[in-house]
Chain A
Amino acid sequence: MPQPDRHFFDDFFEDYLAECDEHLGTIRAQLLSLEPQIEQSSFTAASLQPLFRALHSLKGLSGMVGVQGAETLAHALESYLRHLRDPEVTLTAAGFEALIHGVTVLDTVLRACQRQTEMPDLAPVLAEIGAVTAPLRSPLSPLLPTVISEAEEQQIQAAQDRGDRLWIVIFTPSSALVEAGITVNRVRDRLSDPGTILAVTPQSSPTQGVTFRFIVAHPQADPPPHWQLAGVEVHPYTAPEPPDRAAAVQEMTAAPIETASSAAIAPTLVRVDLHKLDEVMEQVAELVMSRVQLSSQIQQLRGQVPTATWRHLNGISRTLEQQLRELRTGVLRVRLVPLTDTFKRLEFAARELARTMGKAVQVVVEGDGTELDKVLVDRMIDPLIHLVRNAVSHGIEPVAVRRDRAKPDRATLTLRASTAGERISLEIEEDGGGIDPAVIGARSQALHLAPPSPLTTDSLDPDLLLSVLCTPGFSTQDQPDLTSGRGVGMAIVRTTVQELGGHLSLRSTPGQGTCFRIDLPLTLAITDALIVTVGDRSFAIPQATLRELFPLAPQDRPAPTAPALLPYRDGLLPLVTLHHRFHLPPPPPDRTLVVIVVAVGALTLGLLVDRVVSQSEIVVRPLQDPLVQGSGISGATALGDGTIILILDVASLIHQTLLTPSDRAPAP
């Protein structure tokens, strides 16, 4: 347990993390927008304001729930930013890097908190931020407020009430001064005769060593001349509250606009616990099931009750179906969130890694307004970050190599999202070196991971390559490195995608780049499907992948020895006989079958089945157990009569058939 008093805050903790997430989103976006200003002078202090405020809120929240790591780190970042508001100070590349690194660790701290795993070591990043902050402290730094006790504050107040002038006296001792007899005790004596020392704080700074900061009250308007000793500076006293005047002024000037806009937005937004939405979704799913049962009962009544009565019943059932569909869409919409934040996070991860690896990367974002179910977004974030980090560390070449290949120094990483029907596709594409199958094959052999079939230089089968990359234990690194893990990453990426009913695919051109594509259902719970039979089994085919269906007479069926292709429109349609695919008895040769044309992206495939039974709304239950995974089945659903049927994983059927050599036309 990272925080001992966490149990006090359990109720707030979820809220805390959610709120921190929002602030982190703002912080990342704002930080990225600062990048063009590196080494450019003249920041407008106002441009830092949203960043500053988000960090400040995060710090405050973390303090309240006792997440010290986050508080400390946010404070350090805030201190550095505070200096940047000074128009004289420019944002250095090192400074920017420290900010990025700091925010990355801050994210790690919060995630460690959430998962109750071990906290990262803050010392290196704090040192990094300290190193960029420290030079900005002098010579002004002693004037920055330091902590003074309540008793001291009362004394200061009392002295001000007496009408004394207050001074800040800074003494910087050195060995030369000591030889000259000027020690801190001598300074102290001088200051208290005449005068009253109200507070004294030793401070240490990397540039000046130890300094002493006195707050001294004196009745005269000017500091007495005998205070003037070597190594002593005298400044008029400024009150420490509020902690930062500049900030306070900024806050005041910016505040009216901000409150006006937030007042206009806030009351229309409600934050809802995702579990509550899950429960609602589950109830909608049960309603859908009951409706399907009702409908099948009504169908059985046909002919047993007067026709008018039956029509009436059936009409009500139809209306109910329509209403449920709208309810379902409504609930679904509530669960959808735009990918904007996710993409910002990916962009952030990419830039941070590119910077540490000394690579130049430009991030292009397309379709970040695309919406996806919140649960899917949360489950996908780690796999996506992994793919992005892989793209930067393994995909994109070092600048020198890029020059040799006559590519621009700056690589392009594209993050792309788009929807089609009830599916969404996410792509992570870079214009790097591409994947060399020979290297991957050799590596795989060196690691004693038997590849499913030999990889050679002249075969670049993307799915085969992908399955090697996704083998647990596969890694191109001899030593686990910080950037891209220990060879478990890709395996987890693929497993996660499959668990969510999605499909991972790869296309890579040597020398030109690599693109990982993830196809996902927009939401998990309910979808429309076609129920078909294959032999004595029933299967559901998600409507989203369906293009059309047509009967196929026995004489038009390709002979078993011929390539499984059908003339279709202007070309040929690859055909999969599901009986064969699922090791069921072959269809009788004299039966007219049905071809179901399905497509994912540009890939089209015909599935040969016996019969289409019905069209139905189904409640998708994912098949997550390792015992039943990876078999061309994405899940299961219960029909109205309680029997379970399997849902075809159309995307993986298509990819396996069209992109795997073993399923292509017979080998030459």
Chain B
Amino acid sequence: MIIVSSAYILFELAETTYGIAAADVQQMEMIDHITPVPNTAPDVEGVVMWRGQVIPVLNLRRRFGLESMAVTLRSRLVIVIHGARRVGVLVDSCREFITLDPESIHPPPAAIGDRILPYLDGVAHLDQRLVFLLNPETIITHHHGSSSETTEI
């Protein structure tokens, strides 16, 4: 995995620090009102209006199989860009904007488990902390046929 960009946005999810390349993030938003959409996958929180566009919101805690948490004042929507798509990713809070030396990024350890591994590009050591770097594409891909394909029929 070659990581070209080295600017990352760090956020918290269940006391763990994750990072996503700044190039893949369009904006960070406070959360207003999320409209739930029936018959979608459990990790799809709903939709929000963002710049005149209706975009889906993905609950990252549920996607990672973590316990759900009510939206707080610190919760943020990370607007991830992928091709023509814009998806809001719901996270506990946003921390900071950092620059990572590509040499400090390592492949993710398999021990982290199948639930999270597919979404990781790598792991970085930052001071005493571990930062899990997310792959924007797999994060917003709908998976396991768990949504429309099965509920539609």
- A residues with a Cβ closer than 8 A to B are 282, 452-453, 464, 467, 537, 581-584, 621-623, 625-633, 635-636, 638, 642-646, 656, 660, 662
Answer whether residue B58 sits at the interface, using C-beta atoms and an 8 A cutoff. yes
Chain B contacts for A632, CB-based, 8 A: 38-39
Closest 10 CB pairs of A and B: A630-B148, A582-B38, A631-B39, A627-B56, A621-B54, A636-B54, A452-B153, A644-B35, A628-B56, A625-B56
Measured CB to CB, the closest approach of chain A to B65, in angstroms, equals 18
- B residues with a Cβ closer than 8 A to A are 32-33, 35-41, 44, 47-49, 52-56, 58, 85, 87, 140, 142, 147-149, 151-153
Whether A631 touches B152, Cβ cut-off 8 Å, given contacts A581-B38, A644-B33, A644-B54, is yes
Whether A582 touches B33, Cβ cut-off 8 Å, given contacts A621-B54, A628-B47, A631-B152, is no
A635 to B39, Cβ gap below 8 A?
A: no
Measured CB to CB, the closest approach of chain B to A572, in angstroms, equals 24
A627 to B58, Cβ gap below 8 A?
A: yes
Chain B residue at minimum C-beta to C-beta distance from A638: B49
Chain B contacts for A630, CB-based, 8 A: 39, 147-149, 151-152
Identify which of A464, A622, A638, A644 gathers the most chain B CB atoms within 10 Å of its CB.
A644
Chain B residue at minimum C-beta to C-beta distance from A463: B153
B49 to A583, Cβ gap below 8 A?
A: no
Q: Give the distance in Å from the alpha carbon of A31 to the alpha carbon of B48 in the complex.
A: 51
Interface residue from A581, A623, A625 paired with B87 (Cβ < 8 Å): A625
B35 to A631, Cβ gap below 8 A?
A: no
A631 to B38, Cβ gap below 8 A?
A: yes
Please list 19 pairs of residues, one from A and one from B, whose beta carbons are closer than 8 Å in the complex, sorted by A's number.
Answer: A464-B153, A467-B152, A583-B38, A621-B52, A625-B85, A627-B41, A627-B44, A627-B87, A627-B140, A627-B142, A627-B147, A628-B37, A628-B47, A630-B39, A630-B148, A630-B151, A631-B38, A633-B39, A636-B54
Whether A631 touches B40, Cβ cut-off 8 Å, given contacts A625-B56, A643-B33, A645-B35, is yes
B47 to A636, Cβ gap below 8 A?
A: yes
Main SS class of interface, B:
mixed
Interface residue from A583, A629, A643 paired with B35 (Cβ < 8 Å): A643
Q: Give the distance in Å from the alpha carbon of A623 to the alpha carbon of B54 in the complex.
A: 7
A633 to B38, Cβ gap below 8 A?
A: yes
Whether A453 touches B153, Cβ cut-off 8 Å, given contacts A621-B53, A623-B54, A625-B55, is yes
B153 to A467, Cβ gap below 8 A?
A: yes
Measured CB to CB, the closest approach of chain A to B36, in angstroms, equals 7
Q: Give the distance in Å from the alpha carbon of A656 to the alpha carbon of B153 in the complex.
A: 7
B142 to A537, Cβ gap below 8 A?
A: no
Interface residue from A453, A628, A642, A660 paired with B44 (Cβ < 8 Å): A628
Contacts A627-B140, A636-B54 known; list 9 others, CB within 8 Å.
A623-B54, A625-B85, A626-B148, A627-B58, A631-B40, A631-B151, A632-B38, A645-B35, A660-B153
Interface residue from B36, B140, B142, B152 paired with A656 (Cβ < 8 Å): B152
Measured CB to CB, the closest approach of chain B to A300, in angstroms, equals 20
Chain A contacts for B85, CB-based, 8 A: 625
Chain A contacts for B35, CB-based, 8 A: 636, 643-646
Whether A644 touches B49, Cβ cut-off 8 Å, given contacts A625-B56, A627-B40, A631-B148, is yes
Q: Give the distance in Å from the alpha carbon of A662 to the alpha carbon of B53 in the complex.
A: 34
Chain A residue at minimum C-beta to C-beta distance from B149: A630
B142 to A626, Cβ gap below 8 A?
A: yes
Q: Give the distance in Å from the alpha carbon of A583 to the alpha carbon of B40 in the complex.
A: 11
A631 to B55, Cβ gap below 8 A?
A: no
Measured CB to CB, the closest approach of chain B to A555, in angstroms, equals 28
Chain B contacts for A633, CB-based, 8 A: 37-39
Chain A residue at minimum C-beta to C-beta distance from B41: A627
Measured CB to CB, the closest approach of chain A to B149, in angstroms, equals 8
Q: Give the distance in Å from the alpha carbon of A635 to the alpha carbon of B54 in the complex.
A: 8
Q: Give the distance in Å from the alpha carbon of A599 to the alpha carbon of B49 in the complex.
A: 29
Interface residue from A581, A583, A623, A642 paired with B47 (Cβ < 8 Å): A623
Q: Give the distance in Å from the alpha carbon of A646 to the alpha carbon of B33 in the complex.
A: 13
Chain A contacts for B36, CB-based, 8 A: 537
Chain A contacts for B152, CB-based, 8 A: 467, 630-631, 656
Chain B contacts for A467, CB-based, 8 A: 152-153
Chain B residue at minimum C-beta to C-beta distance from A626: B142
Q: Give the distance in Å from the alpha carbon of A282 to the alpha carbon of B71 in the complex.
A: 32
Chain A residue at minimum C-beta to C-beta distance from B37: A628
Chain B contacts for A642, CB-based, 8 A: 32-33, 49
Chain A residue at minimum C-beta to C-beta distance from B36: A537
Q: Give the distance in Å from the alpha carbon of A453 to the alpha carbon of B152 in the complex.
A: 12
